[in-house]
């Protein structure tokens, strides 16, 4: 129950995209998609890396988002909590072997530091919690929240941006195949960036 004690059920203004010239005009800026400048992002990014560097143990997952080989994202997920790593292993597509995992060169890296708290006045965030996506640096930076779903939501936001530019409609869904090769498709809609 420790995990449940730390989950917020209010919507904080914690989500940012780094405002970079290559895609600045393609983002629907507002309360959900807030801009943060690159310099502010990089300072916080290095602060989080320094924080994680002091940890005795980190967890790394390498895998994929999306099953189509032409459009899938190769991922590296770095985090400080074992159960967040388990979440990533269950949420994203696992490589078939350890050898395959070592060969993954990520298109995107998720750096998740749930116990790192931002200082809004120093770090340019609105609260201690933050989720920042940088397309230029190909990083999703998460801190100040134990809600593991931010990793999934971050990658969904990235795919939701990239796929339509390839004339592909992105959907928030899942498909599972049972022992008899029957397929179950689940479609859902929840708030996302």
Examine the pLDDT at 173 and tell me if it is beyond 90: no
E strand or H helix at 35, and its extent?
A: strand 34-36
For the chain, what is the mean pLDDT?
A: 87
pLDDT of residue 123: 96
If one counts every other C-beta atom within 10 angstroms of the C-beta of residue 110, the result is 27
The domains found in the chain, sorted by start residue, are 2-187 (3.40.449.10)
Q: And the tokens for 153?
A: 């939501």
Band of the pLDDT at 44, cuts 50, 70, 90?
very high
69-96: average pLDDT = 95
The pTM of the full predicted model, rounded to 2 decimals, is 0.85
Number of residues written out for the chain: 193
Task: Report, in angstroms and rounded to the nearest whole number, the Rg of the chain calculated over CA atoms.
Answer: 17
Examine the pLDDT at 26 and tell me if it is beyond 90: no
HEC profile of 170-187 = CCCEEEEECCCCCEEEEE
Percent pLDDT > 70 in the chain is 85
67-96: average pLDDT = 94
Cα–Cα distance list, 45 to 41, 56, 61, 130, 140 (Å): 6, 19, 19, 11, 10
Examine the pLDDT at 78 and tell me if it is beyond 70: yes
Report the distance separating Cα 45 and Cα 20, nearest Å: 16
Examine the pLDDT at 5 and tell me if it is beyond 70: no
Band of the pLDDT at 8, cuts 50, 70, 90?
very low
If one counts every other C-beta atom within 10 angstroms of the C-beta of residue 4, the result is 7
- Report the phi/psi class of residue 66: left, alpha or beta, with left for phi > 0 and alpha for psi in -120 to 50: left
Band of the pLDDT at 188, cuts 50, 70, 90?
low
110-134: average pLDDT = 96
Q: Between 174 and 191, name the one with better pLDDT.
A: 174
Examine the pLDDT at 192 and tell me if it is beyond 80: no
Band of the pLDDT at 71, cuts 50, 70, 90?
very high
Dump pLDDT digits (tens) for 149-163.
999 999 999 998 999
E strand or H helix at 112, and its extent?
A: strand 108-113
Report the distance separating Cα 187 and Cα 168, nearest Å: 17
Helices (H), the chain: 2-5, 38-53, 82-91, 98-103, 120-123, 149-162
- Report the phi/psi class of residue 156: left, alpha or beta, with left for phi > 0 and alpha for psi in -120 to 50: alpha
Report the distance separating Cα 71 and Cα 73, nearest Å: 7
Report the distance separating Cα 58 and Cα 79, nearest Å: 6
Examine the pLDDT at 13 and tell me if it is beyond 80: no
């Amino acid at each position: 129950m420790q995990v449940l004690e730390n989950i917020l059920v209010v919507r904080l203004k914690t989500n940012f995209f780094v405002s970079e010239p290559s895609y600045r005009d393609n983002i629907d800026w507002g309360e959900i998609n807030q801009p943060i400048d690159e310099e502010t992002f990089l300072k916080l990014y290095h602060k989080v890396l320094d924080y994680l560097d002091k940890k005795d143990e980190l967890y790394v997952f390498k895998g994929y988002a999306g099953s189509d080989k032409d459009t899938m994202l190769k991922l590296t997920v770095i985090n400080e909590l074992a159960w967040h790593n388990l979440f990533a292993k269950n949420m994203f597509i696992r490589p078939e072997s350890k050898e395959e995992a070592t060969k993954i060169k990520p298109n995107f890296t998720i750096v998740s530091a749930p116990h790192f708290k931002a200082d809004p006045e120093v770090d340019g965030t609105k609260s201690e919690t933050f989720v920042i996506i940088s397309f230029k640096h190909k990083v999703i930076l998460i801190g100040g929240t134990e809600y593991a779903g931010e990793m999934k939501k971050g990658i969904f936001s990235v795919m939701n941006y990239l796929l339509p530019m390839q004339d592909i409609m992105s959907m928030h869904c899942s498909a599972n195949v049972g022992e008899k090769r029957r397929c179950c498709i689940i479609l859902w809609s929840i708030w996302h960036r």
